[in-house]
Amino acid sequence: MATSQNINKKYPKNIGIIMDGNGRWALKNALNISQGHKKGVSVVKNIVEESVKQGIQSLTLYAFSSENWKRPKAEINAIKSLVIEAINEQVPELKEKKVKLKFFGHISDFGKKIQDKISFAENETFSKDSKLDLNVALGYGGQQDILDMVIKVSKQVSQGKIKLEDLNEESINEFLSVPVNEIDLLIRTGGDKRISNFLLYQIAYAEIMFIDKFWPDFTQEDFAQCIDNFKNVSRRFGKRI
Ligand code: IPE
Ligand code: IPE
Ligand code: MG
């Protein structure tokens, strides 16, 4: 019988991760930055595997922020190459596992080659009954996304396509680029306690866990522990319960 205690023991449906610490991990291991990012990509594979195992609905990963364009060109190029490499290597397995890939953010800033690769990956893994939705933020910034939304909404209102009365907390999601409306659990590795412009609108009621490990050191067990910890949290959503 469900008791008030185990009513709260729910799985997080939608998880977001700020995968931070690749650079410091590389430094710690006397490797170069791109080797840190490469190791970071291999961790994604394990976390996706665990998410499928645990029946998580969506996993939304911060791969490259709009502010990461301020990094050295060589590092940006290494990340671009890794995106292509990761798609080439992982799409067949993702497809087999029914993991649906979706990229969001200002993808066009990455050039045609990556855009084409991403379209390919999204088409290949598209499924109406996916086991896991894997959303990857690329060239994404939460503030920019809200600004883009305001511009889109304003245009549609001025063209008479939508009415101001139609706008509410739910309906504006349609104009945001993020494929998921609500994050239940947000994890940030790397030890810093900040959001760094990730899903600003969608984390309104997320439980936030800051993990004191670099992303390349984050294991399936660490992830499973975060999910377990989430189950013990009482989510009140402002109510008196
Ligand atoms: C996160 O790791 C990956 C990206 C931002 C692309 P970092 O590269 O930020 O690693 P640290 O924070 O410098 O250690
Ligand atoms: C956040 O990490 C972005 C990603 C993980 C992709 P950053 O390393 O860019 O964040 P800051 O600069 O420490 O805030
Ligand atoms: Mg960082």
Q: What is the structure's pLDDT at 141?
A: 99
Q: Which residue has the tokens 């665990």?
A: 50
Cα 161 to Cα 185: distance, rounded to the nearest angstrom: 35
Q: Is the pLDDT of residue 241 over 90?
A: no
Cβ of 62 closer than 6 Å to ligand 2, yes or no, is yes
Find the 132 Cα to ligand 3 centroid distance in Å. Answer: 26
The domain segmentation of the chain, as residue ranges, is 10-141+183-231
Cβ of 68 closer than 6 Å to ligand 2, yes or no, is yes
Chain CA centroid to CA 3, Å: 33
Q: What is the structure's pLDDT at 49?
A: 98
Q: What is the structure's pLDDT at 167?
A: 98
Output the CATH code of domain 10-141+183-231: 3.40.1180.10
Q: What is the structure's pLDDT at 105?
A: 98
Pocket of ligand 1 (CB under 6 A): 19-24, 64, 68, 79, 190
Catalytic positions, written as ranges: 20, 68
Q: Which residue has the tokens 């969001």?
A: 104
Neighbours of 29 (CB within 10 A): 13
Its pTM stands at: 0.96
pLDDT tens-place string over residues 94-119:
999 999 999 999 999 999 999 999 99
Chain CA centroid to CA 117, Å: 19
- Assess contact for 9 and 232: CB atoms under 8 A: yes
